[in-house]
């Protein structure tokens, strides 16, 4: 299922939140970072969801910086460090 149904808004996000999952990027104040290229499309379509018990251990979250050289994907990697 797509995270976003273009024109209708998020489809999966409310269901994940209702089930108790937490957006790790939002938890660390990084939710506004763009994850989809090209740069003129300011979209965040890549997420890392964690269960509520793991949410307290989310130490950091970030979108991988711009690649040096040729791009291998139109998505930028999303990284989360969790202390267990």
Examine the pLDDT at 1 and tell me if it is beyond 50.
no
Q: Report whether pLDDT(4) > 60.
A: no
Closest CA to 62 of 80, 36, 83, 42: 80
Question: What is the tens place of the pLDDT at every residue in 22-46?
Answer: 999 888 877 767 777 766 666 677 8
The predicted-structure confidence for 51-77, as pLDDT tens digits, reads as follows: 999 999 999 988 877 665 666 777 778
> Cβ–Cβ contacts within 10 Å for residue 7, how many?
5
Backbone φ, ψ for residue 52 (5° rounding): -55, -40
- Please, are residues 13 and 46 in contact by the beta-carbon 8 Å criterion? no
């Amino acid at each position: 299922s797509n995270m976003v149904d273009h024109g209708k808004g998020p489809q999966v996000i409310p269901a994940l939140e209702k089930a108790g999952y937490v957006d790790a990027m939002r938890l660390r104040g990084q939710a506004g970072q763009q994850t989809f290229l090209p740069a003129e499309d300011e979209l965040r379509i890549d997420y890392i969801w964690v269960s509520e018990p793991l949410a307290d251990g989310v130490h950091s979250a970030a979108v991988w910086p711009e690649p040096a050289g040729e791009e291998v994907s139109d998505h930028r990697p999303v990284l989360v460090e969790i202390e267990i």
